[in-house]
């Protein structure tokens, strides 16, 4: 549900993207700015902290197609500069004022929309008074702005509050408590273990108050997970972790047992079979993300490390190895298979 202050906030400008930017461009811009203004990089910098919150709020709205559509509609409406005034409607009264006129049964005299003006309601007042849904809690159908009929105001759920949080991969895996500022309020929010990048967490009843006795809205937190130098969360199954495991040419060719570091600080050992190719994925069961519902695995991708510099002895050894392999050609069937 739309936030009441969208009318005054240009989220596209906050992220530095154009209004027709696609989801990829928006996400890229957000990650660059979130990294630049993250509190860990700007300790005790109130301006950077405020900028970080603005960036998070903008991304939370523009990354959600439905929220972005509502935001664009409200901004488009606001840019028209119409007013809520009584009087006759003419050609310039088309659009939103016609909707309100027909809603209130206007004939020759219309109701016009205004973003300012003494004694006239502004958008915040309207959004607080009107609901965004046509569904009725009492079973009667309401009008497009939450009314059943004049004099009979029905309970309307309060608007949702949107915010964002950036977590380290360790915090995303283990769960953590973060301090969020949204809608002018500061609160500590518990993030459960096993969240992933782009996930939205809905906190019931933490949004803005309802109208006419309606329940409060929710707080929706969009999660971003910072990159880790070793581990990543498997996008296909977020309870699994992934990592690359470098092995030497000899270990891959001859086989070996190597030590693998785990996210919790411990280690385990994994067997590399003789003749293992680069890109082979090994599954370490139960070494992934632990949640209340299940435990994931650690998917280890073997990467054969090719040395960039060789000593004279190493070069000679490799040349002797190549000679010993004789006519073995790893690309022997490549051309034939490519022509199929």
Cβ contact 229:237 at 8 Å: no
| Residue 186, in any domain of the structure | yes
Residue environment code for 127-156, b if the CB has 16+ CB neighbours within 10 A, otherwise e: bbebbeeeebbeeeebeebbbeeeeebbeb
Cβ contact 267:298 at 8 Å: no
What is the CATH number for 29? 1.10.287.110
- Distance CA(36)–CA(49), nearest Å, equals 11
DSSP classification of residue 275: T
Q: pLDDT (tens digit, 9 = 90+) per residue, 162-195? A: 999 999 999 999 999 999 887 778 888 899 999 9
| DSSP result, 287-327 | -S-B-SS-B--EEEEEEEPPPSS--HHHHHHHHHHHHHTTT
Can you tell me the mean pLDDT for 131-153? 44
Same domain, 106 and 200: no
Can you say how many angstroms the Cα of residue 206 is from the centroid of all Cα atoms in its chain? 19
What is the CATH number for 324? 2.60.260.20
Q: Three-state SS for 48?
A: helix
Same domain, 119 and 24: yes
* Non-local CB neighbours of 130 within 8 Å, separated by 6+ positions: 145, 146, 147, 156
- Distance CA(109)–CA(232), nearest Å, equals 62
Same domain, 174 and 310: no
**pLDDT surpassing 90 at residue 323:** no
Maximum average pLDDT range among 4-18, 141-155, 282-296, 324-338: 282-296
Q: Which helix (H) or strand (E) holds 74?
A: helix 65-79
Closest to 274 (Cα-Cα) out of 250, 248, 255, 256: 255
Phi-psi region of 184 (alpha: psi -120 to 50; beta: other; left: phi over 0): left
**pLDDT surpassing 50 at residue 196:** yes
Q: What is the pLDDT of residue 137?
A: 40
Q: Which residue, of 89, 124, 152, is where some domain finishes?
A: 152
Same domain, 246 and 214: no
Can you say how many angstroms the Cα of residue 282 is from the centroid of all Cα atoms in its chain? 30
Same domain, 249 and 312: yes
Q: pLDDT (tens digit, 9 = 90+) per residue, 84-104? A: 444 444 444 444 444 444 444
Q: pLDDT (tens digit, 9 = 90+) per residue, 22-33? A: 999 999 999 999
Q: What is the pLDDT of residue 43?
A: 82
Q: What confidence category does residue 300 fall into, taking pLDDT thresholds of 50, 70 and 90?
A: very high
Q: What is the pLDDT of residue 143?
A: 43
* Beta strands 298-304 and 241-247, pairing class: parallel
In the chain, where do the E strands start and end?
86-88, 109-111, 147-149, 152-153, 161-167, 176-182, 185-191, 200-203, 219-225, 232-233, 241-247, 256-261, 267-272, 281-284, 298-304
| Residue 45, in any domain of the structure | yes
Same domain, 312 and 186: no
How many domains are there within the chain?
A: 3
Among 44-48, 96-100, 118-122, 313-317, the least confident range: 118-122
Neighbours of 274 (CB within 10 A): 10
Same domain, 27 and 103: yes
Cβ contact 30:40 at 8 Å: no
| Residue 276, in any domain of the structure | yes
Cβ contact 192:239 at 8 Å: no
Q: pLDDT (tens digit, 9 = 90+) per residue, 44-88? A: 888 888 888 889 889 989 999 988 988 888 888 766 544 444 444
What CA–CA distances, in Å, run from 196 to 171, 191, 233, 236? Answer: 10, 11, 7, 11
Q: pLDDT (tens digit, 9 = 90+) per residue, 200-232? A: 999 898 888 888 888 999 999 999 999 999 999
- Domain holding 323, by residue range, is 232-338
Phi-psi region of 312 (alpha: psi -120 to 50; beta: other; left: phi over 0): alpha
**pLDDT surpassing 50 at residue 106:** no
| Residue 137, in any domain of the structure | no
Structure tokens at 239: 């309870």
Q: What confidence category does residue 272 fall into, taking pLDDT thresholds of 50, 70 and 90?
A: very high
| DSSP result, 217-270 | --EEEEEEE---SS-EE-SS-TT-EEEEEEE-HHHHHH-EEEEEE-TTS-EEEE
Rounded (5°) CA angle 255-233-16: 135
Structure tokens at 308: 């960039």
Q: What confidence category does residue 334 fall into, taking pLDDT thresholds of 50, 70 and 90?
A: confident
């Amino acid at each position: 549900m739309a936030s009441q202050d969208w009318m005054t906030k240009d989220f596209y400008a906050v992220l530095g993207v154009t209004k027709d930017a696609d989801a990829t461009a928006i996400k890229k811009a957000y990650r660059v700015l979130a990294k630049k203004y993250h509190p860990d990089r700007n300790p005790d910098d109130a301006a950077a902290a405020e900028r970080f919150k603005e960036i998070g709020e903008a991304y939370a709205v523009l990354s959600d197609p439905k929220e972005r559509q509502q935001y664009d509609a409200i901004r488009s409406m606001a840019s028209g500069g119409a007013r809520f005034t009584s009087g006759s409607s003419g050609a310039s009264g088309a659009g939103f004022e016609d909707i309100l006129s027909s809603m209130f049964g206007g004939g020759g005299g219309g109701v016009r929309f205004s973003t300012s003006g003494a004694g006239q309601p502004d958008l915040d007042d309207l959004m607080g008074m009107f609901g965004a849904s046509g569904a009725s809690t009492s079973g009667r159908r309401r009008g497009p702005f939450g009314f059943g009929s004049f004099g009979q105001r029905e309970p309307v759920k309060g608007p949702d509050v949107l915010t964002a949080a950036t977590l380290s991969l360790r915090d995303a895996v283990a769960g953590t408590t973060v301090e969020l500022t949204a809608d002018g309020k500061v609160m500590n929010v518990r993030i459960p273990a096993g969240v992933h990048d782009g996930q939205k967490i809905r906190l019931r009843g933490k949004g803005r108050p309802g109208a006419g006795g309606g329940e409060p809205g929710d707080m929706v937190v969009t999660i971003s997970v910072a990159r880790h130098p070793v581990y990543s969360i498997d996008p296909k199954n977020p309870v699994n972790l992934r990592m690359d495991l470098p092995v030497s040419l000899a270990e891959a060719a001859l086989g070996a047992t190597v030590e693998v570091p785990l996210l919790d600080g411990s280690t385990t050992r994994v067997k590399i079979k003789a003749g293992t190719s680069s890109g082979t994925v090994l599954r370490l069961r139960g070494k992934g993300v632990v949640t209340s519902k299940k435990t994931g695995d650690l998917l280890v991708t073997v990467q054969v490390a090719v040395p960039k510099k060789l000593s004279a002895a190493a070069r000679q050894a490799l040349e002797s190895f190549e000679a010993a392999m004789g006519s073995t050609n790893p690309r022997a069937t490549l051309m034939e298979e490519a022509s199929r």
